[in-house]
């Protein structure tokens, strides 16, 4: 938001700069507009109001009599010296001079408009025109006009088509057709000094330029500024200045001959025009026209403005780019996190799917096995019960068969209990109930249970707790943990004929690992991978005598998994087996908790 406000301020400043750079010509036009009012060119001061000009009595009297509507006839086609603009207002060097003179002398001047210079000359001869702002003093004109001192000079140049390659002077144009405006001073000079040139009189310089452009005339003789003004203004591009002439003519104000007092008043006014004022007028009209665009202040203002706008745009683009990059970065990060999350969820789902499929497979296998395993003791019960029922048995036989029925019944109960236990763990009916369990005493409790049976078999039970202190506790479910150790201990006792049984645990990293090792008959290698699956029993005579359901290790594995750990076995036939299992403990935080 702050950035937007800053941008708005900068844009506002730029717009103000733009306005300032373009406002100059607008002001200039309005100043020009104030100069004349339609065809009237009103003076702001009355003759007796001016204080800066010293007039003779004669001049003052003249002013009183004639200073009402001094008729000034500007040449309509003499730009930039004088002309009427598109609004019909009198403009140019002459107009600016006359404006200054009015201020300095208090003359009241009225603009009268004629169609051509020739008409103006005609009207001047008849005294319908009182003054001409810009006129060359010639002998012919002196018959009906007086002239003030000169304001400035103009030089004539020769304009030809651009395909004329050599530099030309008037001497080169003998027998050629040269256009020149009727009654202009150039006409008088040309006709008197170059009689061999075919003069083509035209109403004004523009007509002459057009004729040369269309090939109707060989050259046109006109003043430098007028030619360049028209060529530029009218877009005549096939013309060029082929050469200069030595026609340098001073221009003055022409005044009707019977008003010599006005000449002296104007001369006093001209004397008061400063060099700076003259320069300003010439700069405004001549320099303005001829100066190439790239040299103008407007051009440089435009360059500056463009530069500022471009800089601002680039800054805005860079800023937006920076913000977008930031947004893309954070969006990418968020997407990446979401992607990771989805990948994790997907992996979990896949694992769950595999587990579900596996569990489904196991459940089916389990059920198939259950029916088989249950049928065996049930068949025994049924068979022996039927024999007993027949009644034709000795007391010894009956007691033997009855004993078989009881053993089969016990096995059945054992199987059903184990199945129920496994199912409860699987279905998460039994959930770990965590409590602080002191390791030493818990192991001693387990050992106590088996001590007597071990002694009867002549086996030693050893406890190994290499890096476990008597104060160490773990947070786990003590019932489940004891159940696991009991199953492993009972197997060790069952399958060990001599030697010893070791029980213990040790810290490994942040984990605790329990083990039960024996020096028993061992497990053949081909059973190692499947020994934890339900109803898997190694088939050899020694073991069959030991009995069992084939569910003890299955239950132990399910309980270890419920406590977040893993179980494995190392075994060598006739040498012994070692069962290891870990428990999940958060960074061993339970170690030495007391």
Binding interface with ligand ADP (CB under 6 A): 491-492, 495, 518, 520-523, 531, 536-538, 543, 548-554, 577
CB of 506 to ligand ADP, least distance (A): 20
Asked if 272 contacts 188 with a C-beta cutoff of 8 angstroms, the reply is no
**Judged by CB, which is closer to ligand ADP: 105, or 577?**
577
CB of 487 to ligand ADP, least distance (A): 6
Q: Which residue is nearest to ligand ADP (CB)?
A: 548
CB of 389 to ligand ADP, least distance (A): 31
CB of 574 to ligand ADP, least distance (A): 10
Per-residue three-class SS string for 71-100: EECCCCEECCCEEECCCCCEECHHHHHHHH
- Report the relative pairing of strands 152-161 and 219-223 from DSSP bridges: antiparallel
Ramachandran class of 550: left when φ > 0, alpha when ψ lies in -120 to 50, beta otherwise: left
**Judged by CB, which is closer to ligand ADP: 100, or 567?**
567
**Judged by CB, which is closer to ligand ADP: 146, or 519?**
519
CB of 532 to ligand ADP, least distance (A): 8
Cβ atoms within 10 Å of 445's Cβ, excluding its own: 12
Phi and psi, residue 136, nearest 5°: -85, 140
Distances in Å between the Cα of 60 and the Cα atoms of 236, 254, 500 are 50, 20, 153
For residues 35 and 23, give the distance between their C-alpha atoms in angstroms, rounded to a whole number: 19
Cβ atoms within 10 Å of 301's Cβ, excluding its own: 16
**Judged by CB, which is closer to ligand ADP: 244, or 570?**
570
Triad 305, 308, 314: Cα angle to 5°: 140
The sign of the dihedral angle between the CA atoms of 490, 492, 495, 497 is negative
Secondary structure (DSSP) of 34-58: HH-BTTEE--SS-GGG--SS---HH
Burial (CB count within 10 angstroms: exposed 0-12, middle 13-18, buried 19+), residue 165: exposed
**Judged by CB, which is closer to ligand ADP: 205, or 501?**
501
For residues 419 and 425, give the distance between their C-alpha atoms in angstroms, rounded to a whole number: 10
CB of 444 to ligand ADP, least distance (A): 21
CB of 338 to ligand ADP, least distance (A): 46
User: Which 8-state DSSP code applies to residue 129?
Assistant: -
Secondary structure (DSSP) of 164-209: --S---GGGGTTSEEEEETTSHHHHHHHHH-TTSEEEEESSHHHHH
**Judged by CB, which is closer to ligand ADP: 409, or 550?**
550
**Judged by CB, which is closer to ligand ADP: 60, or 543?**
543
Ramachandran class of 574: left when φ > 0, alpha when ψ lies in -120 to 50, beta otherwise: left
Triad 180, 183, 186: Cα angle to 5°: 50
**Judged by CB, which is closer to ligand ADP: 63, or 531?**
531
**Judged by CB, which is closer to ligand ADP: 138, or 491?**
491
For residues 426 and 446, give the distance between their C-alpha atoms in angstroms, rounded to a whole number: 25
For residues 49 and 300, give the distance between their C-alpha atoms in angstroms, rounded to a whole number: 44
CB of 501 to ligand ADP, least distance (A): 9
**Judged by CB, which is closer to ligand ADP: 334, or 413?**
413
CB of 454 to ligand ADP, least distance (A): 13
- Report the relative pairing of strands 198-202 and 473-476 from DSSP bridges: unpaired
CB of 380 to ligand ADP, least distance (A): 17
Q: What is the CA radius of gyration of the chain?
A: 63
According to DSSP, the residues that pair with 517 across neighbouring strands are 502, 578
CB of 398 to ligand ADP, least distance (A): 29
Place of tokens 């109803």: 535
CB of 544 to ligand ADP, least distance (A): 9
CB of 543 to ligand ADP, least distance (A): 4
Task: Go through 545-580 and write b for each residue having 16 or more CB atoms within 10 A of its CB, e for each that does not.
Answer: eeebbbbbbbbbbbbbebbebebebebeeeebbbbb
**Judged by CB, which is closer to ligand ADP: 194, or 515?**
515
**Judged by CB, which is closer to ligand ADP: 353, or 413?**
413
**Judged by CB, which is closer to ligand ADP: 79, or 552?**
552
For residues 510 and 112, give the distance between their C-alpha atoms in angstroms, rounded to a whole number: 114
CB of 496 to ligand ADP, least distance (A): 7
CB of 374 to ligand ADP, least distance (A): 15
Q: Cis peptide before 188, with omega less than 30 degrees from 0?
A: no
**Judged by CB, which is closer to ligand ADP: 263, or 521?**
521
**Judged by CB, which is closer to ligand ADP: 448, or 540?**
540
For residues 362 and 93, give the distance between their C-alpha atoms in angstroms, rounded to a whole number: 113
Helix segments in 202-296, DSSP class H: 205-213, 224-234, 260-272, 275-282, 288-290
């Amino acid at each position: 938001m702050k950035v937007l406000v800053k941008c708005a301020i900068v844009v506002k400043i730029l717009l103000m700069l733009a306005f300032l750079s373009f406002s100059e010509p607008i002001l200039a036009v309005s100043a020009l507009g104030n100069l004349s009012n339609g065809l009237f060119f009103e003076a702001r001061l009355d003759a007796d109001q001016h204080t800066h000009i010293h007039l003779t009595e004669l001049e003052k009297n003249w002013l009183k009599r004639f200073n009402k509507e001094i008729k000034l006839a500007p040449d309509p086609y003499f730009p930039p010296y004088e002309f009427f603009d598109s609004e019909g207002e009198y403009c140019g060097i002459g107009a600016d001079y006359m404006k200054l003179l009015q201020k300095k002398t208090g003359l009241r001047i009225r603009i009268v408009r004629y169609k051509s210079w020739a008409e103006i000359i005609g009207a001047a001869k008849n005294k319908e025109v009182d003054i001409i702002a810009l006129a060359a003093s010639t002998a012919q004109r002196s018959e009906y006009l007086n002239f003030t001192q000169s304001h400035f000079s103009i030089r004539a140049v020769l304009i030809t088509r651009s395909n004329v390659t050599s530099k030309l002077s008037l001497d080169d144009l003998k027998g050629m057709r040269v256009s020149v405006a009727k009654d202009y001073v150039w006409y008088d000079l040309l006709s008197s000094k170059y009689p061999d040139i075919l003069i083509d009189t035209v109403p004004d310089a523009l007509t002459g330029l057009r004729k040369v452009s269309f090939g109707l005339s060989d050259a046109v003789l006109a003043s430098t500024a007028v030619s360049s003004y028209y060529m530029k203004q009218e877009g005549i591009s096939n013309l060029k200045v082929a050469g200069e002439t030595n026609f340098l003519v001073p221009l003055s104000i022409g005044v009707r001959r019977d008003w010599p007092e006005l000449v002296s008043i104007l001369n006093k006014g001209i004397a008061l025009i400063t060099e700076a004022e003259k320069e300003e007028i010439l700069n405004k009209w001549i320099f303005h026209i001829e100066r190439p665009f790239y040299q103008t202040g407007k051009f440089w203002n435009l360059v500056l403005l463009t530069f500022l706008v471009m800089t601002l745009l680039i800054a805005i683009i860079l800023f937006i780019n920076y913000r977008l990059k930031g947004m893309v970065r954070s969006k990418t990060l968020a997407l990446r996190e979401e992607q990771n999350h989805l990948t994790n969820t997907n992996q979990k789902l896949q694992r769950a799917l595999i587990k579900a499929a596996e569990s489904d497979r196991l459940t089916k296998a389990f059920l198939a096995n259950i029916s088989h395993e249950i049928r065996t003791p049930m068949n025994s019960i049924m068979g022996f019960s039927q024999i007993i029922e027949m009644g034709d048995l000795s007391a010894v036989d009956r007691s033997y068969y009855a004993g078989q029925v009881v053993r089969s019944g016990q096995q059945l109960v054992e199987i059903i209990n184990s199945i129920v236990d496994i199912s409860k763990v699987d279905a998460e009916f039994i959930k770990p109930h965590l409590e602080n369990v002191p390791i030493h005493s818990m192991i001693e409790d387990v050992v106590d249970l088996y001590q007597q049976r071990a002694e009867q078999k002549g086996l030693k039970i050893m406890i190994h707790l290499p890096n476990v202190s008597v104060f160490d506790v773990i947070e786990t479910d003590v019932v489940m943990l004891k159940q696991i150790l009991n199953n492993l201990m009972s197997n060790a006792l069952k399958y060990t004929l001599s030697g010893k049984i070791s029980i213990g645990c040790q810290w490994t990293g942040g984990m605790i690992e329990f083990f039960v090792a024996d020096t028993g008959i061992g497990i053949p290698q081909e059973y190692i991978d499947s020994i934890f699956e339900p109803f898997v029993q190694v088939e050899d005579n020694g073991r069959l005598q030991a009995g069992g359901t084939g569910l003890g290790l299955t239950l132990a594995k399910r309980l270890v998994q419920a406590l977040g750990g893993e179980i494995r076995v190392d075994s060598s036939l006739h040498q012994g087996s070692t069962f290891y299992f870990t428990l999940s403990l958060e960074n061993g935080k339970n170690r030495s908790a007391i």
